[in-house]
Chain A
Amino acid sequence: MISSIRDPGRLRLRTPRTRGACYPSRSKNLTAEAAVASARVSAMDLRPISIAATCAALNLGLGKIASLLMLPVYLDAIGTVLATALVPLPYALATGVASSLLGAVLINPATPFYTGTQVTIALVAFLGVRLGAMRRAYTAAIWGIVVGLAAALVSAPVTVVVFGGVTVSNATAINAVLMAAGHHIWQAVIAGSALIEAIDKPVACLLSWVILRRLPARLRPQG
């Protein structure tokens, strides 16, 4: 235990695998220095993990509001966009991946196939946050269109190859109309997804901008 305590970076790797006990007693050799280092690990890790988990849950839950208000948006990426502004990039990526994986059990079994889309949204939104796109409403909306187009391009192959061109109801209707008009399935899916995402993602980015402005100061991102 002492060897692991001397290297704070290895603390998490040396967690004892004690079975049958809720809180095993602390080691007698836990020094004050190690306690401080351990607390630092907690302080660094738990807050972003907790915020990332909430953002992932928001990705999964906010669609319900849009459906209750009968609005043609999905709001399945607000959490990811917010996470890029509130926590470091790896946690924002984890937000997207966690919401995709858990969405399969909680919302819709199709969501894990769109994990790449969530990762793309996180990367493009992170770039936007870094470039200052979230400072004004109009830049947030414009960056939302960029996020939407990137998301449409990444999700189109999954929609065609795995789901045969069928996706969420509104986009499926557009795809069907375009295919009935004689367009190839790829053209129909890319056009349909781009149209839907170009409405949904700017709304998500604008809402994120509103939320970031109204957050308590202690939670607001610096800079």
Chain B
Amino acid sequence: MRDHPITPTGALIWTIALVAATAGPGALPGILATVAGLMVAMIRARSLSPFRQTLRWSLPICLPLLSIHSLLNPAFVETARWGWLPFREAGFAYGSVRCTTIVAFVVAAVIWRGTTREAVVRSAIRAHVPTQVVVLLALTASTFSTIQRRIPRTLDAQRARGVIADRAILSRIRALVAVIVPVVITGLVEADVRAKFLRARGLGDSSMAVIGTDKRPLRGVIADASISGAAIAIGWLLRG
């Protein structure tokens, strides 16, 4: 079993398929394309994590969206009333269509999470994306992980020093400064040092390639293209 079965090319094609399926006014093709994409991602990853991640990201947007338009939005006419709670049918329909689109975008993001940073960088270089853009995106992703790890450590250190003493709002604002300033300054100093290291290793020197670009097996490319092509075709047929 492969840990990261989704290739960047596959993810890109799936993203285009999902956006194309949800671009029109019809909600049904969007739903079907979304579900198809999620199923393929799940089957290829052999885990439920794409479903869980989709729910984790979709629910905080979709639940308020449906509630606001079916219950509160005065632009839609009230069609029923459950006790003190009004219900607006047109608002519910509008909210459902919006939710479908949002779920499709969420699925696209979840599919991208199935790729690896290295694979995306290799594909970007193969696709002749400018080196500066590739370096910027790769560095951002790696620095993000470093910052994520540093934040709890800095928070604990400041708590140990007594900076974060209680839960009063003023204390928390002081703590915000006490935690953010070291995290940011350390990050910026490291960025300066990292630039020197990268330069010392030859990055930016035009006579050197950034990293190696290995060939993908043709079978994988054909599999990605056929699955994605079939999904796009189904989406477009259902639109008609």
Contact = CB atoms under 8 A, between A and B. Distances in A.
Interface of A is mostly: helix
Interface stretch (A94-102, A132-140, A147-155): A94-102
B194 A50 contact: yes
A105 B106 CA distance: 9
Q: Which of A53, A218, A219 has the most CB of B within 10 A?
A: A53
A46 B137 contact: no
A66 B191 CA distance: 23
Interface string B64-105: 110111001111000000000000000000110010011001
A105 B105 CA distance: 11
Contacts of B198: 46, 50
Contact of B206 (A15, A68, A99, A179): A15
B52 interface: no
Interface in B151-191: 151-152, 155, 164, 167, 172-173, 175-177, 179-181, 183-185, 187-191
Nearest to A68: B155
A24 interface: yes
B14 interface: no
A21 B203 contact: no
Interface residues of B, number: 80
Interface in A15-47: 15-24, 26-27, 30, 38-39, 41-43, 45-47
* Size class of the contact patch on chain A: 35 or more
Contacts of B68: 164-166, 172, 175-176, 179
Contacts of B131: 12, 15
A40 to B, nearest CB: 9
Contacts of B109: 104-105, 109
B47 interface: no
A51 interface: yes
A14 B206 contact: yes
Contacts of A82: 184, 188
B112 A104 contact: yes
A122 B113 CA distance: 27
B211 interface: yes
Given A19-B213, A71-B172, A164-B69, A106 B180 contact: no
A146 to B, nearest CB: 22
Nearest to B187: A54
B130 A53 contact: no
Determine which residue in B136, B190, B215 has the highest number of CB atoms from chain A within 10 A of its CB, and name it: B136
Nearest to B68: A176
10 contacts: A16-B207, A20-B212, A23-B208, A50-B198, A53-B135, A57-B140, A94-B136, A99-B140, A110-B102, A166-B64
Given A22-B209, A110-B61, 5 more contacts: A53-B191, A57-B141, A57-B147, A70-B167, A180-B72
Interface of B: 57, 60-61, 64-65, 67-69, 72-75, 94-95, 98, 101-102, 105-106, 108-110, 112-113, 128, 130-133, 135-137, 139-141, 143-144, 146-148, 151-152, 155, 164, 167, 172-173, 175-177, 179-181, 183-185, 187-192, 194-195, 198-199, 202-215
